[in-house]
Structure 1
Amino acid sequence: MEFLSDKHLLLLEDSDEFIENAISLFNMFVKKTFVAKDIKEAFKLLENEKIDLIISDIHLKNECGLDFIEKFRQTNNQTPILILSGYKDEDLLFKAMTLNLSGYLIKPINFKALIEAFEKCEAKLKLNNQKIIDLKEGFKYDKELKKVIKENEVFELNKKEILFFEMLCENQKRVITKDMFIKFVYEYEPMSDSALNNFVLRIRKRFGKNFLHTIPDVGYKMII
């Protein structure tokens, strides 16, 4: 996992015992691990340091790690994030589904599970560096121009269409749920099922049907 060897990791964790062991473990893969013990300190580090990936405990003493992630995701949907917990919490996992996470780790951390989680982070970081995303039928999405192109033809996109393709590219191997549409495309505006269906129908009419697979009663998934 050499790709992570020059990367900086932010750990949001308030257990001194866990921090000491975690730093040694994480630094086997990354260049440096920065530690924040509360949300305020985490944002200060994000402001002052170059952070490439984040690991956050869900259960802090007086705070919730998901609140930190939710606020961070309002301005950054690129950085890979893993969450930590001493046990599985189905309600919190459901909330986390909309936060574009790269993995979920249970304490004490299993080494094999950590490697798998870091591999997902590595894949996301590599994807972030990819400027052109292939769709189907010759269409491509240009992440820099924020436009769809096909051969010499360029398709202009409105704001919601740009947000849709950005969300799709960030979640190429994941199912896009209605909650994710509301959060990332409609930015918490009210959206009915018919509005969602009409939006997807317009996208398919413009750019073909074959790049987006419908999963009934669940959502959509990009076909790559």
Structure 2
Amino acid sequence: MSKILENLMILIVEDENEVRKLMQDVMTGEFANVITAQNGDEGLKKFKKYNPDIVVTDIAMPISDGLEMAMHIKEISKDTPVVVLSAYSEKERLLKAIDVGVDKYIMKPIDMDEFLTTLEHVAKSKIETTNIIEVAKGYTFNKTKRVLIKDGVEIPLTKKELAFISLLIKRLGALVLHDEIKNVVWVGESVSEAAIRTFVKRVRDKVGNDFVKNIPGLGYKIDVNL
């Protein structure tokens, strides 16, 4: 397993069932979480729901194609890498992919070893360009090491706590709803509102009560104006 990919979530959007299943099986051994979708419309909904670190998509799909989806994703989060797969080689599609801002364009059939290497390069490039984030006064987040730092000291966080803080940082200053927190932190698990409150209290004990702000009945956000 790649050290670069092992803590990341990937969204695979592919309408061919066998290809999607094969990619899911391979990626499950490399990424922390693997989410799949069958078309661009479903892919965009799952992007908004799960907030993945990398998106891999086919182009020609029913309902909504991969480039249309990629355009909407880049409008939401321009720093999220989008890798496009296609059996097509027309100049028009390549130019449109460039206009949309996709990070890589890979032709089918796919060599999985080369593909994983490409994903590592894409992930590494993203990490290097957005390495240290100033979160709030006295707080920074190192995206390479995936650690929260307060006044120069690393704060030890569990995997779920890190997923929670990482989500709030990706939406820095904005409200993150309870449902999105559940979907990202407790992937595939059932969790009660009471359990979430207890969890957040434990996080606050570590990071500071004022750092994570509660919006009653809705969700949480990071107070960037500390």
TM-score by length of 1: 0.54
Corresponding residue for 2:84?
Answer: 83
Spell out structure 1 runs of 4+ moving beyond 4 A: none
Per-residue CA shift, 1:45-75, capped at 9, x if unaligned?
1222131100010010343210111122122
Corresponding residue for 1:105?
Answer: 106
Q: How big is the alpha-carbon RMSD for the aligned residues of Structure 1 and Structure 2?
A: 1.9
Corresponding residue for 2:73?
Answer: 72
Residue 36 of structure 1 and its aligned partner are, at CA, apart by: 1.1
**Percent identical across equivalent pairs?**
20
Structure 2 letter corresponding to 1:33: V
Distance 1:87 1:70 in 2: 19
Q: Tell me the secondary structure at the aligned position of residue 5 of structure 1.
A: coil
Per-residue CA shift, 1:24-51, capped at 9, x if unaligned?
1222321221111122322221222131
Residue 33 (1) aligns with residue 34 (2): yes
TM-score by length of 2: 0.53
Structure 2 letter corresponding to 1:17: E
Kept in 1, the 8 Å contact 2:85–2:106? The answer is: yes
Corresponding residue for 1:20?
Answer: 21
Distance 2:45 2:24 in 1: 19
Corresponding residue for 1:93?
Answer: 94
Kept in 2, the 8 Å contact 1:83–1:104? The answer is: yes
Kept in 1, the 8 Å contact 2:81–2:102? The answer is: yes
Gaps spanning 5+ residues in structure 2: where?
134-226
Per-residue CA shift, 1:116-159, capped at 9, x if unaligned?
31122222331243249xxxxxxxxxxxxxxxxxxxxxxxxxxx
Kept in 2, the 8 Å contact 1:78–1:128? The answer is: no
Structure 2 letter corresponding to 1:10: L
Identify which range, 78-87 or 23-32, moves more after superposition.
23-32
Distance 2:100 2:116 in 1: 21
Gaps spanning 5+ residues in structure 1: where?
133-224
Pairs within 5 Å for 1:25-64: 25-64=26-65
Structure 2 letter corresponding to 1:37: Q
Residue 105 of structure 1 and its aligned partner are, at CA, apart by: 2.0
Pairs within 5 Å for 1:153-192: none
Distance 2:89 2:114 in 1: 15
Distance 2:113 2:14 in 1: 21
Distance 1:32 1:44 in 2: 17
Distance 2:114 2:100 in 1: 20
Structure 2 letter corresponding to 1:89: E
Per-residue CA shift, 1:175-209, capped at 9, x if unaligned?
xxxxxxxxxxxxxxxxxxxxxxxxxxxxxxxxxxx
Kept in 2, the 8 Å contact 1:102–1:117? The answer is: no
Q: Tell me the secondary structure at the aligned position of residue 6 of structure 1.
A: coil
CA 1:89 to 1:33, structure 2 compared with 1: closer, same or farther past 3 Å?
A: farther
Residue 11 (1) aligns with residue 12 (2): yes
